[in-house]
């Protein structure tokens, strides 16, 4: 049974076919933001491109934001606000004539890693995508844990430093506000002189300075490592997972596994808790793969 998985971002759409455990026919396209009707038609056209070539039994769509996968409605999309509170899955399904499952992108990521990647055969898997923001997902016993109101596993919005840095969600000291790529750039004025800070335009540049031995970058990432370790220790204290899987661009920086992960044990409440933190295996297509896998086993 072939299913199509689609990952919809703020400016692009990515698709992949999952047939049993075979991943194939990857494609991507720009996705200009328009009004709702035109946006649905753009997504439908992308899906029709696949339908014209082979039989697809279901489509899984993952997108950032809080959503209800049963109703197929997004409550709060940080990237595409005009789809909020619309019957997105139902409207898209009506356009293409195939059942459509809607899922949060971080949930789709961790489910893919649980089935085909670093969390395979594990009972409890936590997934974190550390990039521009911090997304989180949890799979327990092979099922995505979404919470009573479908807004669980917002791991990027656990407060680690109360009264700390302002997060995009409006609160202060969230994990996302401390260890995301956006956070690293926002930390720069605190650790660098105004003149030097004005010359830094990305988190990658700050990592480059760290690797070059820059003192200010070293101080910044000393605090970063502590925030990272406290965050992971909190997740371990709550869930005692078999593994925490890290994805996203920031997680691929060598500093994360060399300097941050070893500190986690210092913040655990008991030595009995294991610290098993692994890099994601599937890469940037994991969200689309997870969406396809979830659509495959969904009961529409």
> Are 130 and 179 spatial neighbours (Cβ–Cβ below 8 Å)?
yes
127-169 pLDDT per residue, tens: 999 999 999 999 999 999 999 999 899 999 999 998 889 998 8
Among 17-31, 115-129, 270-284, name the one with the lowest average pLDDT. Answer: 17-31
Mean pLDDT of 14-31: 88
State the average pLDDT for the chain: 94
Residue count (the chain): 300
Res 282: pLDDT:
94
Check pLDDT > 70 for residue 300. Answer: no
Number of alpha helices (DSSP H) and beta strands (DSSP E) in the chain: 10, 12
Res 58: pLDDT:
95
Res 27: pLDDT:
86
Res 1: pLDDT:
74
- Taking Cα atoms as reference points, which of 143, 148, 47 lies closest to residue 100? 47
Mean pLDDT of 91-116: 96
pTM of the predicted protein model: 0.94
176-209 pLDDT per residue, tens: 999 999 999 999 999 999 999 999 999 999 999 9
Name all domains of the chain by residue range, CATH numbers in brackets.
2-108+284-297 (3.30.420.40), 121-280 (3.30.420.40)
57-89 pLDDT per residue, tens: 999 999 998 999 999 999 988 888 899 999 999
**pLDDT over 70 percentage in the chain:** 99
**pLDDT over 90 percentage in the chain:** 83
The upper half-sphere exposure of residue 299, i.e. CA atoms within 13 Å in the direction of its Cβ, equals 0
The residue to which tokens 């997060």 are assigned: 167
Residue 152 structure tokens: 């669980």
Torsion-angle region of 44 (φ positive above 0: left; ψ -120 to 50: alpha; else: beta): alpha
Rounded Cα distance between 33 and 211, Å, is 38
Give burial (CB, 10 Å; 0-12/13-18/19+) of 119.
buried
């Amino acid at each position: 049974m072939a299913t199509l998985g689609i990952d919809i971002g703020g400016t692009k759409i990515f698709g992949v076919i999952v047939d049993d455990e075979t991943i194939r026919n990857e494609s991507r396209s720009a996705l200009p933001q328009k009004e709702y009707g035109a946006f649905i038609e753009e997504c439908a056209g992308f899906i029709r491109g696949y339908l014209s070539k082979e039989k697809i039994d279901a489509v899984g769509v993952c997108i950032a934001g809080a959503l209800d996968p049963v109703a197929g409605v997004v409550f709060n999309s940080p990237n595409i606000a005009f789809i909020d509170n619309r019957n997105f899955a139902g409207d898209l399904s009506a356009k293409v004539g195939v059942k459509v499952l809607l899922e949060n992108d971080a949930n789709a990521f961790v489910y893919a890693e649980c089935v085909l990647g670093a969390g395979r055969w594990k009972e409890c898997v936590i997934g974190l995508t550390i990039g521009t923001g911090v997304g989180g997902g949890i799979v327990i016993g092979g099922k995505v844990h979404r919470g009573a109101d479908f807004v669980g596993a917002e791991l990027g919005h656990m407060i680690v430093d109360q009264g700390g840095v302002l997060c995009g969600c409006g609160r202060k000291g969230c994990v996302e506000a401390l260890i995301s790529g956006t956070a690293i750039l926002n930390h720069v004025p605190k650790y660098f002189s105004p003149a030097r800070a004005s010359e830094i335009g990305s988190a990658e540049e700050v990592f480059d300075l760290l690797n070059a031995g820059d003192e200010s970058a070293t101080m910044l990432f000393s605090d970063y490592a502590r925030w990272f370790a406290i965050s992971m220790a909190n997740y371990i204290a709550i869930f005692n997972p078999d593994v925490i899987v890290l994805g996203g661009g920031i997680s691929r920086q060598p500093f994360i596994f060399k300097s941050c992960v070893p500190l986690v044990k210092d913040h655990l409440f008991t030595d009995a808790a294991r610290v098993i933190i692994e890099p994601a295996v599937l890469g940037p297509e994991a969200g689309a793969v997870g969406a396809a896998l979830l659509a495959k086993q969904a009961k529409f």
